[in-house]
Amino acid sequence: MPSRFHCGRIAAAPSRREFLARSAFGFGALAAGELLARDGWSDETQPVAGVNPLAPKPPHFPAKAKSVIFLFMTGGPSHLDTFDPKPELKRLDGQPLPESYKTDGLALQFMQAQHGKLMASPFAFRKHGQSGLEISDLFPHLAKHADRLAVIRSCHHESFIHGPAITLMGTGSLLLGHPSIGSWVTYGLGCESDELPAYIVLSDGGFRGGNVMYQSGFLPAVYQGTILRDEGVPIQNLRPAGDVSPRQQRLMLDRLARWNERHRQARPGDSQLDARIANYELAYRMQTAAPELIDVSKESQATLELYGVGQQPTDRFGKMCLLARRMVERGVRYVQLFNNDWDGHGECAKNHQGNAQRIDRPIAGLLADLHQRGLLDNTLVVWTGEFGRTPVMQGNLGRDHSPYGFTTWMAGGGIAGSKAIGATDELGFRAVEDAVHVHDIHATILGLLGLEHTKLPFYFGGRERRLTDVFGDNNLTPRLVGAR
């Protein structure tokens, strides 16, 4: 065996047995290093100074879409009054719950307790598009885009309470503290804009359930959604004090960055601090970009009218939809719009009619504008709420919550429209054909963006976590993108 020099003299090289015995002491360190890296304690897993954590990242496979506009109807719109026609419910209007449903414990819980009187939709459903997709008269403008819609009528999940249902729809979990789907998307793909956040949120009336729909949870804080105001100052505290010049601000930010970096090196794994460092620089760049984003004065009058901006009752949501188009046009990855409030426990038809009048024209305008600008092909538009509503009457012409069968529709992002997927039973209570769970919806959204949901993990709390947990199936995708 060859010799080697050691302390000024020639020494024999160790035998294979000696080498393995000595190396064994290092195997534990290698394993520990891997575990620490998973927990975010390895330098290799921490954001590198000067590197943008929201820089664009390649998808796992070729994507159909590169951005998402998620339209969330807070309160739970009734699928029976919007996108899921039920002729049998109309025939049985006002009659008691059929005996066949009384063997179903869930049906009894939701419907017999409401005296079991069936209530048909007062809105007519008409056929639209090449395939005759049936859509309620609540949406005359949106119905003109039936050939672009894929309506999933068989969505379902487990929670009939607003808070947990919103949390499940937004994060894939009934438990608080999990990242929102927008945070997972930006974690997986980053952002194409250097001057705007990757993930922007707008609401026309607050956030029911708090920030669960746009929080970053256990992901690094930099992936949390940024709330944008559609009027006045777009983001609070964005502008510096009037007596601070741009040069002075740049000097302060450079000094602050050095202090923060020194602080960060002593506290590895602090994602809040990492986010703060990144956000200072982003805010500096946004001082020009954000006001320009919400300034729609240069949009043509025809475009403003398309969205219903400047008219009532469409003005506010119309402007939100117009801003969503402007965001994806500028490289924002994920846009989430909230419309409030579809909780029709009493006079459900009146509630839904008022809400539909506010959103119908703006959403139709959004689809038309994206299409004419060549953006719809790579922008996925999703419309949903936290659950549907029961086919029986509650109180004064109202409907109760029902998570066992409801509707979500998608358009753009490779979607082949003019189709309905899945079905609820004859009364619209439960998904019975091609049932699609919330986890499947999430897996499908990620899949259309080129992300394999099982390959987008984050190690937290002792195990790998993901948006779909241990569930989810994106087998829905071929039906969404395939021919009618």
Convert the pLDDT of each residue in 128-173 to its tens digit: 998 899 999 999 999 999 999 999 999 999 998 999 999 999 999 9
> Comparing 87 with 258, which gets the higher pLDDT?
87
Q: Where are the alpha helices (DSSP H) in 2-148?
A: 16-38, 87-91, 105-110
User: Is residue 343 scored above 50 in pLDDT?
Assistant: yes
Residue 177 half-sphere exposure, CB side, CA atoms within 13 Å? 5
Domains of the chain by range and CATH?
16-45 (no CATH), 55-481 (3.40.720)
278 CA to centre of own chain = 22
Q: Residue 101's pLDDT is what?
A: 80
What's at 416, amino acid-wise?
A: A
Q: Residue 326's pLDDT is what?
A: 96
Give, in order, the Cα–Cα distances in Å from 158 to each of 164, 168, 351, 408, 419: 9, 9, 25, 16, 26
DSSP-derived secondary structure letter, 97: P
Q: Residue 275's pLDDT is what?
A: 63
On the 0-12 / 13-18 / 19+ scale of CB atoms within 10 A, 333 is buried
Give residue 199's pLDDT band: very low, low, confident or very high (50, 70, 90): very high
pTM (two decimals):
0.82
Q: Residue 172's pLDDT is what?
A: 96
How many DSSP H helices and E strands does the chain contain? 12, 19
Per-chain mean pLDDT for the chain: 84
> Comparing 288 with 331, which gets the higher pLDDT?
331
Q: What is the arithmetic mean of pLDDT over 452-462?
A: 92
Q: What is the arithmetic mean of pLDDT over 59-69?
A: 96
> Comparing 64 with 109, which gets the higher pLDDT?
64
Lowest-confidence segment of 36-50, 192-206, 226-240, 443-457 by average pLDDT: 36-50
Lowest-confidence segment of 121-130, 241-250, 251-260, 306-315 by average pLDDT: 241-250
Of 448, 410, 374, 484, which Cα lies nearest the Cα of 155?
410
| Backbone φ, ψ for residue 413 (5° rounding) | 55, 35
With tokens 């859509």, the residue in question is 135
Q: How many CB atoms lie within 10 A of CB 232?
A: 7
Q: Residue 292's pLDDT is what?
A: 81
Q: What is the arithmetic mean of pLDDT over 432-458?
A: 96
Q: What is the arithmetic mean of pLDDT over 445-465?
A: 94
Lowest-confidence segment of 40-54, 59-73, 112-126, 455-469 by average pLDDT: 40-54
Structure tokens at 434: 């091609």
Lowest-confidence segment of 13-17, 289-293, 301-305 by average pLDDT: 13-17
Give residue 37's pLDDT band: very low, low, confident or very high (50, 70, 90): very low
Q: Residue 335's pLDDT is what?
A: 97
User: Is residue 346 scored above 50 in pLDDT?
Assistant: yes
Cα dihedral 296, 380, 382, 365 sign: positive
Q: Residue 338's pLDDT is what?
A: 96
Q: Residue 269's pLDDT is what?
A: 60
Q: What is the arithmetic mean of pLDDT over 275-281?
A: 62
Q: What share of the chain is helix, strand, coil (3-state, %, to 5)?
A: 40, 15, 45
Q: Residue 210's pLDDT is what?
A: 77
Q: Residue 258's pLDDT is what?
A: 73
* CA-based end-to-end distance of the chain: 72
Per DSSP, which regions of 112-189 are E strands?
125-128, 133-136, 150-156
Lowest-confidence segment of 89-103, 168-182, 360-374 by average pLDDT: 89-103
Q: What is the arithmetic mean of pLDDT over 222-243?
A: 71
What is residue 18's three-state secondary structure? helix
Of 128, 69, 147, which Cα lies nearest the Cα of 337?
69
Q: Residue 288's pLDDT is what?
A: 63
> Comparing 422 with 38, which gets the higher pLDDT?
422
Q: Are 213 and 180 in contact (CB under 8 A)?
A: yes
Q: Residue 378's pLDDT is what?
A: 96
Q: Residue 207's pLDDT is what?
A: 82
